[in-house]
């Protein structure tokens, strides 16, 4: 019961790694509040994970909506001990595509802006809303989802990689700014994890991905959740400003 008596907020908690993290935190005694833009998936998570879970429909890119959510949780539960910034989206494309010397396609500006607004600004919004509560109560833990591609880059993911590299940078800044308030700030960088997105890919593509992982398999959402659990617990009491890779020693290709 490593999180007994703690209140944890998890964004993007209705599915995938977020849902696995909610389940893991519940098992360890936390009161867990998830938010997601997917109403149906959020309600399904409530039914599956039980009465200690709470769900709010929130778009993390909307600063005002985030503040309303955080304020309501703090009022009703009296504290916020852990924030997991997990929400994220993809909109992959190469920067430009040229054929015969002519530009035929490029990453849409709207897709760049949309991924930035959720994956990067959303982390900023939620952390900025939660930090004052943690400061007033004397401490807390802020965890954010980066990615191995945020450390190594990846073909066709200019927008996504920019956000995940940005999360690493913000994590290091906040670890310095908030450390004096007894707030630890860390990031987790998953590799290829068997979430709904990966499960929808053709087996040929999945096989090629597995071939780049020395452990010979994809990761499971619960394995990433275990990393979040460690970092959220007192076992990681002197870990701050770190980026933990959970990737099976993945070698990102070119």
Catalytic center residues: 160
Q: How far apart are CA 81 and CA 129, in angstroms?
A: 13
| DSSP line for 144-186 | EE--HHHHH--TTBHHHHHHHHHHHHHHHHHHHHHGGGTEEEE
Per this entry, what is the length of the chain?
254
- Tell me the Ramachandran region of residue 85: left when phi exceeds 0, alpha when psi lies from -120 to 50, beta otherwise: beta
Q: Where are the beta strands (DSSP E) in the chain?
A: 7-11, 31-36, 53-57, 82-85, 96-99, 102-106, 140-145, 183-190, 243-246
Kindly give, in sequence order, each residue whose CB lies less than 8 Å from that of residue 231, ignoring residues fewer than 6 positions away. Answer: 141, 143, 184, 186, 188, 239, 242, 244
Q: Which residue has the tokens 């308030």?
A: 181
Q: What values do phi and psi take at 82, rounded to 5?
A: -140, 135
């Amino acid at each position: 019961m490593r999180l007994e008596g703690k209140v944890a907020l998890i964004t993007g908690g209705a599915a995938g790694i977020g849902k696995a993290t909610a389940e893991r935190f519940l098992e360890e005694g936390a009161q867990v509040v998830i938010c997601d833009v997917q109403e149906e998936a959020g309600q399904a998570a409530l039914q599956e994970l039980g009465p200690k879970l709470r769900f709010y429909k929130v778009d993390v890119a909307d600063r005002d909506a985030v503040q309303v959510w955080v304020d309501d949780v703090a009022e009703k539960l009296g504290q916020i001990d852990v924030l997991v910034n997990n929400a994220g989206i993809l909109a992959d494309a190469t920067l430009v595509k040229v054929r015969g010397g002519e530009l035929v396609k490029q990453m849409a500006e709207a897709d760049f802006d949309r991924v930035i607004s959720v994956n990067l600004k959303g982390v900023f919004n939620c952390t900025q809303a939660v930090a004052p509560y943690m400061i007033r109560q004397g401490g807390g833990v802020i965890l954010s989802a980066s990615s191995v591609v945020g450390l190594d880059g990846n073909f066709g993911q200019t927008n996504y990689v920019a956000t995940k590299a940005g999360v690493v940078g913000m994590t290091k800044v906040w670890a310095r700014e908030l450390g004096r308030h007894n707030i630890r700030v860390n990031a987790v960088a998953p590799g290829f994890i068997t979430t709904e997105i990966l499960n929808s890919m053709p087996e040929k593509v999945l096989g090629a991905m597995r071939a780049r992982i020395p452990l010979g398999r994809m990761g499971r959402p619960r394995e990433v959740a275990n990393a979040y659990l460690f970092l959220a617990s007192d076992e990681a009491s002197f870990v701050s400003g770190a980026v933990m890779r959970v990737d099976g020693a993945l070698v990102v290709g070119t």
